[in-house]
Structure 1
Amino acid sequence: MASVDECRQALHDLASRLERHAEVGQRIDLDRTLACRVTDLDTAFHGRITGGRLVDLADGDDPKAKIALITGSDDLVALVHGQLDVTKAVASRRVSIKANPFDLMKLRKLL
């Protein structure tokens, strides 16, 4: 099981990757609040996806977030580091993403 610090670092790694993509013009046109709920650690993180970037990452849940990623700690780390395919993870229920269908299509590009 990954630790809370490893999950936090994985989200910061994702934010860095999105920052690099945004700088070279491969940004995702999405402006939404995001909650990442890590089930096996009973913890959560929240932030905002805007201008192709993941910003304002902080500890704690955002129950009103427009996008919610729900997963275990090991799956979160593997997903962010490209070791777990998001489509297969969702199909096997290792990862759950709650968002409207149009946002889901855009989110596929992030992970």
Structure 2
Amino acid sequence: MEDRDFSKLRVKCFLCDGPHWPRECPKKKALNALIASELSQEGGGREDGGARVSSLQLLNALQSTLKSQAKGLLFVDTTINGKATKALVDTRASHNFISIEEVRWLGLLVSN
């Protein structure tokens, strides 16, 4: 086997796109606090001035029901902003996408 120099690998956090491992993400604690706060409010909306997180971070907070399928794509039933929808689970994907129509229907805020 050949020796590889792993010190030159570029590491990218999938939570915040920062140059570190996800386990070392400085935003991970804020995300966990936000999730705990939202779960304790039971459907309460985010107050103005509250923490903001990316859509991928919020995806980790989704509660869903898995439907068994023999073959094909894996979808889960989810509830976002109180509206039932389906999400495609792709374990090999590096990014998540959502259509403009779904963003509008779910009432999501889009930011860069």
**TM-score normalized with structure 2 length:** 0.28
Larger radius of gyration: 2
Higher RCO, 1 vs 2 (CA within 8 Å, ≥6 residues apart): 1
**TM-score normalized with structure 1 length:** 0.29
* Greater per-residue helix proportion: 1
* Greater per-residue strand proportion: 1
